[in-house]
Amino acid sequence: MGTTIGAILISYDINKQHTYVKDAMIILGYSTNWNYTSKPTYYLPNTTLWHSNKSSNQAMSDLKNICIRLGVSLEKAVAVNATEFVGF
């Protein structure tokens, strides 16, 4: 479980430094939005990101390592293999 490489959606709650954690994840290639050809851009909720080429284990490890480095308490998180996106 968690080893399939593909589109990963990760959502989390932390106790502080939300912007720093999100920025660090973005540096690792995570995105705050997605779009399809000829469609609008869809923005994810504030503490939800996606990556086009990770496993759920890798995503969770990335988040945990960033939180440790920044001294942030990771309260809860979920990372899932996301094969289809729908949003507004």
Q: Are 49 and 42 in contact (CB under 8 A)?
A: no
Asked if residue 88 belongs to a domain, the reply is no
Residue type at 40 in one-letter notation: P
Task: Please report, rounded to a whole number, the percentage of residues in the chain having pLDDT higher than 70.
Answer: 93
Section 57-82 average pLDDT: 96
Asked if residue 87 belongs to a domain, the reply is no
Query: Does pTM top 0.75 for this prediction?
Result: yes
Number of domains in the chain: 1
Asked if residue 10 belongs to a domain, the reply is yes
Asked if residue 1 belongs to a domain, the reply is no
Token pair of 61, please?
A: 């490890």
pLDDT at 38: 79
pLDDT at 1: 55
Asked if residue 30 belongs to a domain, the reply is yes
Tens digit of each residue's pLDDT (9 = 90 or more) over 7-37: 899 999 999 999 999 999 999 999 999 877 7
Q: How many helices (H) and strands (E) does the chain have?
A: 2, 5
Q: What's the domain range around 51? A: 6-81
Asked if residue 26 belongs to a domain, the reply is yes
Domain with 20 in it: what CATH number? Answer: 3.30.70.2360
Tens digit of each residue's pLDDT (9 = 90 or more) over 59-68: 999 999 999 9
